[in-house]
Structure 1
Amino acid sequence: MNTLSMPSLPMFYRGLQSLEPKRHWGFGVRGVSNFSAVAKANAVPLGISEFALAARSYPIVFGPAVSAGIPVAVTALVEGQNLFVDADGQWLPETYIPGYLRRYPFWMRVDDEGRSASFFFDPYAEKIVPLECDATARPLFDFRGQPNTALGEIVNFCRQCLQDEQMTQRFMAALERERLLVQRQAHIELAPGQYYELGGFRVVDMDAYHRLPDATLADWVRQGYAALIAVHQWSMTHNWQHLLALHQQQTSSPLTQTEPA
């Protein structure tokens, strides 16, 4: 297996291999999604274009600055238990699946100038297979070695994800520049007398946000940043209790309250 050596792999990826027509002609992509790779993840990266949809199910918070401070959807109250993935690796029905997971096992990387892109996949995902091994797999290349419809759709989606990441980076830079992100913990009573503290995330300090100069606030309204902050706040108000309800259903523990401190 020829796996690209990288200084650090994207979250949840175990390896990256370049997708090449000569090497992968006669290969296809399996259509059935399986999320077993994130069955123990308590957070999944988000892009700002996803906030409105993700806010229906997840608290949206921000990672610590040391990890580039990306927005994330909280998917668990305790370590090692993703409440949205069942024993068969299927995502909870009628719940928004973050684009980061829908893109997996593919990955697109651009050069420092942003002019050219390289395309990879995680070979350990076992989603790219020889066509003779799975008759249901969609061919990646035609008989001339040109991208087929399936690969074209995948590449377009990866480009959309990449554009969203770039917009998200600008939003995060604005939050960091104004020093609006503060550390928080969620204090959880999973059962009477059984407490758990979920930390390692940041939220927008609304007092500091409301003290921003009028010109900055007006600019953020025009850029859509004010709406994103409102969605972030709404998601936390409504979804910590939703996670606790899911935890209760899956562990049969009594339902109690939780909120960020």
Structure 2
Amino acid sequence: MTETTPSATGQLTGNVLYYNQPEPLNPTTHKGMGVKRIDGPFSFAAKHNLVPLTVSEFQLAVLNGPIIFVGEEKTPLQVMGLNHDENIFVLPTGVFDAGVYVPAYVRRYPFVFANDSQAGQSILCVDRSAAFFAESNPELPFFDEKGEPTEYTQNCLKFCNDYEMERQKTQSFVQLLKALDLFESKESFYTPVNEDGTPGEPQKLADYFGVSEERLRALPAEKFMDLRQSGALNQIFAHLISLAQWDRLVALSMNRQMQLQNQAPQAANS
């Protein structure tokens, strides 16, 4: 069950990426508040290279970068940078580079569902620390004069509800892969080139879980057909294809680093 106006302020549980000050959204606390339009609305995403993905997004995000699975829960993540504190697809202006798919996890910010342990339900929260949170004179208020959610808030609530449904589908997808024993540990390496043109010492980029192509090929025909008919096979192929993006990610990271190095002298001389 989800609410926008909780009757009690229970204990919120769980830590969520990007959210520093989430609080239950209600017409009393947030009367006259809302959001404002700002330049660089995605600056909050610039300092994190891993972004959660839902399974329905795999085919949309395949060209961004590798889609990997991490942890005991095998959480699917989009790799958007090689350094843990840098998303190379977020420009210094605080917007995503042209042509980059922006994950739904990023687009739902500053809203999120949180568990209210006292009330035993999920409630809609908003991150008060968001740069575009407006304490007064918002361009898009959360509530109208009667204390009812505005169209903007209703749309955000629907988006969060849809996201929650996709998250549950993703959990089912992961459980299916687990049940078929398709996961295996994987490593990605980058081999730099020395000044004389010879290959350098390989450097590890990441350890993660991914689908084993060997185990996939070894599945009984009926199990393979089940994956195909359910649509899960398309998502598996999208994940496998995305792993070829490690080299592209390295190239983009090196290019980004060179641009920043070139900009540094210009800034010093200005």
Query: Under TM normalisation by the shorter chain, which class is it?
Result: 0.7 to 0.9
Aligned counterpart, 1:35: 42
Gaps of 5+ in 2: 1-8, 195-199, 260-270
Correspondent of 1:86 among 91, 101, 117: 91
1:121 is displaced (CA, Å) by: 1.4
CA distance in 2, matches of 1:36, 1:155: 23
Aligned counterpart, 1:177: 179
Query: What CA deviation, in whole Å up to 9, does each residue of 1:82-140 have, x standing for no partner?
Result: 2112223222222110000111121124689xx954100122223321233x5xx2111
CA distance in 1, matches of 2:204, 2:11: 37
Correspondent of 1:10 among 8, 12, 16: 16
TM-score of the superposition, structure 1-length normalised? 0.84
Distance 1:26 1:93, change over 3 A: same
Are 1:217 and 2:238 counterparts?
Answer: no
Contact 1:4 1:18 in 2 (8 A): no
Q: Which moved more, 1:3-12 or 1:44-53?
A: 3-12
CA distance in 2, matches of 1:118, 1:140: 15
Distance 1:191 1:6, change over 3 A: farther
Corresponding residue SS for 1:125: coil
Query: What CA deviation, in whole Å up to 9, does each residue of 1:175-211 have, x standing for no partner?
Result: 1122211111211135533753122311100111121
Contact 2:190 2:247 in 1 (8 A): no
Aligned counterpart, 1:189: 191
CA distance in 1, matches of 2:116, 2:86: 36
Seq. identity, %: 28
Distance 1:101 1:191, change over 3 A: farther
Query: What CA deviation, in whole Å up to 9, does each residue of 1:7-44 have, x standing for no partner?
Result: 43112322320000111121112244533333232211
Gaps of 5+ in 1: 254-261
Q: Which moved more, 1:8-17 or 1:224-233?
A: 8-17
Aligned counterpart, 1:62: 69
2:83 maps to amino acid: V
Correspondent of 1:167 among 162, 166, 169: 169
Distance 1:195 1:76, change over 3 A: farther
CA distance in 2, matches of 1:180, 1:38: 31
CA distance in 2, matches of 1:6, 1:144: 27
1:159 maps to amino acid: N
Distance 1:15 1:183, change over 3 A: farther
The residue correspondences of 1:50-129 to structure 2 (distance < 5 A) are: 50-65=57-72, 68-109=73-114, 117-129=122-134
CA distance in 2, matches of 1:50, 1:31: 26
CA distance in 1, matches of 2:252, 2:157: 35
Distance 1:31 1:158, change over 3 A: farther
Aligned counterpart, 2:32: 26
Distance 1:148 1:235, change over 3 A: same
Kindly report the root-mean-square deviation, in angstroms, between the aligned alpha carbons of the 2 structures.
2.4
Aligned counterpart, 1:256: none
Contact 1:4 1:15 in 2 (8 A): no
